[in-house]
Amino acid sequence: MAKSPRKKRLSVYLEPEIMQALAAHAARRNQSLSLIAEAGIASFLSPDAAERQEAALIRRLDQMDRHLTRLERDLGIAVETLAVFVRFWLTTTRPCRNPPNRPPAPAPQSATTLSSLRSGADWCRGRSSGRRLRRRWRKRRSPYRSDEKFALR
């Protein structure tokens, strides 16, 4: 039986931070410091190390590309949502009649506004404005029927 060649001894000086990281890694793996150091040196010197590094770099770049694509899609959705909201807001909100530096003109009091104020005041006092409404509806004709009997009385 052939005897395996004996390993050669190497003394290496390491910075304290690197030595602590090496010791922590060896403790996590439950292996000796020299075995971890030997594996690291072998990996560094192996001919396919460059290929593995390139593959790791490509995986990382692909992952970053997917994240950026997802962010771009989410940003597009947010911009479209904001545009829909602004369009809705502008179509449902009345424009200002007065410029901001002029005081607003008093609103004209129409008959409907006055009647609604009266009915609101009546409601606050506990009075019913039903009589006034019934009188108003009797005078009107129904827009759907030509005869008078379908009007609200």
Residues 53 and 41 in one domain: no
Side-chain half-sphere exposure of 37, counting CA atoms within 13 A: 15
pLDDT in tens, 85-100: 999 988 898 776 666 6
Lowest-confidence pick of 71-75, 87-91, 93-97, 115-119: 115-119
Same domain, 120 and 81: no
User: Does 39 share its domain with 65?
Assistant: no
Give 134-149 pLDDT, tens digit per residue: 555 555 555 555 555 5
Structural tokens at position 62: 């692909």
**Considering the domain boundaries, does residue 102 fall inside one?**
no
Domain range holding 59?
Answer: 47-95
Residue 58 is assigned to a structural domain of this protein: yes
| Confidence band for 130, pLDDT divided at 50, 70 and 90 | low
The count of structural domains within the chain is 3
Evaluate whether residue 9 is within a structural domain: no
CA angle 16, 49, 29 (to 5 degrees): 50
* C-alpha span between 29 and 116 (Å, rounded): 83
Residues 37 and 60 in one domain: no
Give, in order, the Cα–Cα distances in Å from 5 to each of 2, 8, 11, 35. 9, 9, 19, 17
Q: Does residue 90 share a domain with residue 122? A: no
The whole-chain average pLDDT of the chain stands at 77
What single string gives the DSSP state of each residue in 103-144? PPPPPP--HHHHHHHHHHHHHHHT---HHHHHHHHHHSPPSS
Structural tokens at position 8: 């050669």
| pLDDT at site 115 | 56
Q: What is the pLDDT of residue 113?
A: 55
Query: Is the pLDDT at 38 greater than 70, yes or no?
Result: yes
8 assigned to some structural domain: no
